[in-house]
Structure 1
Amino acid sequence: MARARVLLCAICLLRVAQATIYFQEEFLDGERWRNRWVQSTNDTQFGYFRLSSGKFYGHKEKDKGLQTTQNSRFYAISARFKPFSNKGKTLVIQYTVKHEQKMDCGGGYIKIFPADVDQKNLSGKSPYYIMFGPDICGFDIKKVHVILQFKNQYHSNKKPIRCKVDGFTHLYTLILRPDLTYEVKIDGQTIESGSVEYDWNLTSLKKLEKSPAGSKEKEDKPQDWEKHFLDASASKPSDWNHELDGDWQASMLQKPPYQDDLKPEGIDKNIWLHQKMKNTKYLLEYDLSEFENIGAIGLELWQVRSGTIFDNFLITDDEEYAEKFGKATWGETKGPEKEMDAIQAKEEMKKAREEDEEELLMGKFDGKANNFRRFHRKDEL
């Protein structure tokens, strides 16, 4: 039994050792973070960050992170790392965010940039690969963004993912796998998953190979007709966003209603595609969730009320390592953080009660003093 446990531990350590950690930041070395993170000077009105664990925390040092400090400001800051490609590999992006001020309107998301990003001029116009994390504004917007760049356009996940809206620290994780599946986790729990192809409405972006110039279709030979045709009855979805989703195109249907020498009936030949897909792996060729030159991570966002703390950044190719890292950071301090908040809340309530009682007593005292003064004035008269 003991040997089995030792073997299991050895296997776990080996798997962790095999993980590739592209970037990891916990801000455990004090102000040295300023040597790694570059504040954008693109706009003199950008807000500044400081290192803080906030008003309440689970561990004063471990919970220190980048905190926004000025209200109604844009923020732009980033850190570089050795460039890499996630082609053929899993990509895991993870971090913690704490809206201590209980966000009313502002972003809590991060962006992953190409290695050639201009850090000094980072702004909302800087091209990015991935945008991930919570965004809150009023009663309507309380969502987790998952936006991917594809063919120089930004495409957003069509499934609504609700974010956390309280004032505690939460762990956000995005997993993109080589088989085009994805997973979004909050606090280690899966809240959304599926296919990048379908959940980003990217089926209209299939790579097509045009027929050779001068080629002529033969009219009556079914074998020359393509096996795919446009869905003529399809219409553009009402929520289609041209900037995010690109040009809309009807989806392609397969398996036309004829076999052997039978001609298709009830189908207008003009809707048939006289083009063919280059191969069945067009999605992999298009690299819908693969990026060749990942090299920076950053915060580029707007906040009405400042106070958000960003910490425990991780970019890796290993889901198991990300889970362990999350448990060793956020997992260790989430409980004590809530305990400290509860203690502070009780102290604030006690203080408020004492102040109310003091005001009440002072009011009674002032009332008696006024009566005393009125009584003596009556005697004088």
Structure 2
Amino acid sequence: MKFSQALFCLVAAVPAAADVFIKEQFNDEAWKTRWTVPSSWKSKSELGEWKHTAGAYFADENDQGIQTSENHRFYGLSAKMDKPFVSGDKELVIQYSVRHEQKLDCGGAYIKLLPGGDAFDADKFGGDTPYAVMFGPDICGSANKRTHVILNYPAKNENLLINKEIPPEKDNLSHLYTLVIRPDNTFEVFVDNKSVRSGKLEDEFDFLEPKQIKDPDAKKPADWVDIKKIPDPEDKKPEGYDDIPKEIPDPEATKPEDWSDEDDGQWEPPMIDNPEYKGEWKPKMIDNPEYKGKWEHPMIDNPDYKYDPDMYKVCKDGCTHIGFELWQVTAGTMFDDILVTDSLEEAQKFGEETFFKKKDAEKASYDKFKEEEKKKEADEEPEIDLSDFDGMGDEF
């Protein structure tokens, strides 16, 4: 093999370097220059303030994130990525960490990947702003707890929800959420680097029309018998069955001594359940000899079905921004370590350097925080003055 050929093979074997479109760790005050709070989405009184903090418990007080700080508020925030992501031959990876320091009764904690380019208006960013991907936990009440995976599908001009919900983490520690959308039309969701859902886009989302449909020309035959059981024609109601009343006058009831037929009307004993009553007679059921089974509607190939190799192209025209657009009843959610890249390997490496590096120390800090809370609550309990009870025994 010639040297040039060997060099070409070596270069071809080296994977292309990962692109990072945004990496945000909020560890400097300049984060406010990179992120914009919308001024036209809601009134100032409706928008909650983002707090730059390490939180109530942490691995390192210098490792900060942003936190919702006011109850019953909307929260908006967006940032332009370092460069646009355009769906192509590489995967799309969105990753960030979430921590609920509060008991979250109702509130979103999802992130959005946004198109728009130079036309994107950060001041108006809000719930009606078009997005390419919405991903992350959303909790409201005991019934609505999910990790959103919603993908925009330009071919239908619809936002498609994942068909089977993914439960979110419920404790008060940080968790790392990762979404991967691959060029082979598959996806995968990780929580703390553990895969919690994966599959084909067409199987988990309603991108495509069904492959088969019920034959519109097929009708159930008029003589089709799908009644499995019928009354036994030879089973006859016993004689005298209808003569047994459901209720009878109470034989032990007696007319009150002060009852006046003239004033109170003719006295009648109260009615009670008849112990001889056998209930409504029904003939026993037998197998229907004419039963043909449940009629199954014949299926045919759907003429409207067409496979789309570009389902994964949620950023076909380019995604340029990332943002949060949330409502929270009880504030206290922390966000940190945001990454958008085209390499799961790069995202997992970043997760090891950030989330997993501080995971154990954060847990230790949390445990200490909870112990201090319990001690504080115990110290604040009012003492009962037993002297207030002196002499009370004389009154009883």
TM over 0.5: yes
Q: In structure 2, which of residues 335, 348, 353 is the aligned counterpart of residue 328 of structure 1?
A: 353
1:37 and 1:78 in contact (8 A); partners too? yes
Give CA-to-partner distance per residue, 1:292-312, whole Å, 9 cap, x none. 211000000110011111110
Give CA-to-partner distance per residue, 1:85-112, whole Å, 9 cap, x none. 0222101000001111121101000000
Task: Identify the residue that residue 27 of structure 2 maps to in structure 1.
Answer: 28
2:153 and 2:207 in contact (8 A); partners too? no
Code of the aligned partner of 1:27: F
Task: Identify the residue that residue 124 of structure 1 maps to in structure 2.
Answer: 127
- Describe how 1:1-381 pairs up with structure 2 within 5 A: 18-29=17-28, 31-42=29-40, 43-44=42-43, 45-62=46-63, 64-81=64-81, 82-114=83-115, 115=117, 116-151=119-154, 152-204=157-209, 230-232=213-215, 282-285=307-310, 287-356=312-381, 359-360=383-384, 363-364=385-386, 366-367=387-388
CA distance in 1, matches of 2:48, 2:303: 55
2:109 and 2:136 in contact (8 A); partners too? yes
CA distance in 1, matches of 2:316, 2:362: 37
Q: Secondary structure at the match of 1:335?
A: helix
Q: Secondary structure at the match of 1:125?
A: coil
Deviation, structure 1 residue 359: 1.1
Code of the aligned partner of 1:315: V
In structure 2, the CA distance between the partners of 1:286 and 1:351, relative to structure 1 (3 Å rule), is closer
Deviation, structure 1 residue 345: 1.9
2:214 and 2:298 in contact (8 A); partners too? no
In structure 2, the CA distance between the partners of 1:77 and 1:25, relative to structure 1 (3 Å rule), is same
Deviation, structure 1 residue 313: 0.3
Code of the aligned partner of 1:159: K
Deviation, structure 1 residue 350: 2.8
2:126 and 2:325 in contact (8 A); partners too? yes
TM-score (norm 2): 0.68
**Structure 1 vs Structure 2: percent identity of aligned residues?**
37
CA distance in 1, matches of 2:23, 2:341: 9
CA distance in 1, matches of 2:314, 2:359: 32
Worse-matched range after superposition: 112-121 or 184-193: 112-121
1:88 and 1:178 in contact (8 A); partners too? yes
Q: Secondary structure at the match of 1:51?
A: strand
Deviation, structure 1 residue 290: 4.7
Give CA-to-partner distance per residue, 1:30-82, whole Å, 9 cap, x none. x21110000001212221212111111121122x1111111111111100022
CA distance in 2, matches of 1:56, 1:337: 7
Code of the aligned partner of 1:140: A
CA distance in 1, matches of 2:374, 2:388: 27
2:208 and 2:305 in contact (8 A); partners too? no
CA distance in 2, matches of 1:276, 1:349: 60
CA distance in 2, matches of 1:38, 1:66: 13
1:174 and 1:182 in contact (8 A); partners too? yes
Give CA-to-partner distance per residue, 1:96-131, whole Å, 9 cap, x none. 011111211010000000023211001111000000
Deviation, structure 1 residue 349: 2.5
1:142 and 1:165 in contact (8 A); partners too? no
CA distance in 1, matches of 2:35, 2:148: 23
RMSD (Å) for aligned C-alpha atoms = 2.8
Task: Identify the residue that residue 225 of structure 1 maps to in structure 2.
Answer: none
Larger Rg, first or second structure (1 or 2): 2
Code of the aligned partner of 1:72: H
TM-score (norm 1): 0.71
In structure 2, the CA distance between the partners of 1:32 and 1:274, relative to structure 1 (3 Å rule), is closer
In structure 2, the CA distance between the partners of 1:306 and 1:231, relative to structure 1 (3 Å rule), is same
Deviation, structure 1 residue 354: 3.9
In structure 2, the CA distance between the partners of 1:274 and 1:307, relative to structure 1 (3 Å rule), is closer
Corresponding residue pairs, total = 292
CA distance in 1, matches of 2:123, 2:106: 26
In structure 2, the CA distance between the partners of 1:232 and 1:290, relative to structure 1 (3 Å rule), is farther
